[in-house]
Amino acid sequence: MIGGLLALIIGRVAYLIVGTGNYTLAFFVGALLSALQLGSLYALIALGYTMVYGIIRLINFAHGEVFMVGAFTSFFLFANTPYSLPWALFAAALAAAGLMYAVNLWRGKLQDPVVLGAGALGFVGFTLALSAASLNWIAAMLLAMLITGVVGITLDRVAYRPLRGAPRISLLITAIAMSFFLQNFGLLAFTRNQTPYRPATSWTQFLQFPLAGNTVFTSRMVILIPLVTLVLVVALTLFVNRTRLGKAMRASAQDPEVAQMMGINVNRVIATTFFLGSTLAAAAGVLWGLNFGSLNQPAIFGLLPGLKAFAAAVIGGIGSLPGAVIGGLLLGFLENFVPAMFAGTTEFKDTFAFFLLIVILLIRPSGIIGEDLSEKV
């Protein structure tokens, strides 16, 4: 079925280029770059869904709102600096907490002098940076990733950890409740209106180059977004495969009870999973704002991208890191190429993800490269 769908799309591309002459190669190269760009964003968000599901079998419906928190946090960090000292201290404390947790993943002990030193230096440095000068988007993205990582850990500690032994439906209902809570928190903390997102950077400028007698029109974001996504995915893969905590994550994903009997602190592993997933969602939020130039109101900003990313995770095989990336890229490809090849389908492009999700669930419920699970979820 999937092979037939791809064959149909590729055949249609060949026909439009060679048969009709109405479309140029430059047009399709531009669409391919846009597909890679959008698919990379979906992949970053989908990784958070798939990591949490892989460890505790929870579909975290609040993950789209975590993506929203990351995007709006970065906006307020770079748009409103320099801050007054109280606000700088508050934001620096959150970012330093995230930095301490990240260093603690490597050192393994919160009371370690290196962890405490990183927290102290981070707190002083972030306070000076926020109160003394304007931030560029890179510094804002790193700070937003750390702050959003703290939000992710807090979400697990407050909402999900008390329900570890409860029926799974309780966790699902709690996840939906946290989604609504974060939406309303965003309305109170950020804004109700659409917000321009235009930091001072040359990455948002247009890019054009000649190809086969025509010109490809795009922006420099087609380079930045896949590049950042590649770096983060490689870093995550190395962390999961090469570090002790990554091995603990894989062991907990296989069987959390046995992992706990072997001395693995499963709660710490789960908190780490939420931290990493939230930092990736925050990075996606920053790149999303840079790419589209504005942020919609918080109540709806994370809803549709979150649902599409969840669909991408299921399509690729939820619980699988490569599956999340493949699913995200596949959705980006569909959303850019199908409207370009089939007239009159542009207004339905948001439905492609869910149509493909239904098709995948019908023919391969475990996803493209996911494992076949006999357990009901």
Greatest C-alpha distance within the chain: 69
**pLDDT score for 168:** 84
Helix ranges (H only) for the chain are: 2-14, 25-56, 63-79, 85-107, 113-132, 137-155, 168-189, 221-242, 244-254, 256-261, 266-292, 298-301, 303-316, 321-341, 352-363
Average pLDDT over residues 205-233: 85
Which tops the pLDDT comparison, 11 or 297? 297
Tens digit of each residue's pLDDT (9 = 90 or more) over 355-364 = 888 888 888 8
Average pLDDT over residues 81-104: 85
Q: How far apart are CA 135 and CA 154, in angstroms?
A: 26
Tens digit of each residue's pLDDT (9 = 90 or more) over 325-344 = 999 999 988 888 888 777 77
**pLDDT score for 12:** 63
Tens digit of each residue's pLDDT (9 = 90 or more) over 224-241 = 999 999 999 999 999 998
Tens digit of each residue's pLDDT (9 = 90 or more) over 101-152 = 888 877 777 778 888 888 888 888 888 888 877 778 888 899 899 899 989 9
Q: Is the pTM of this model over 0.85?
A: yes
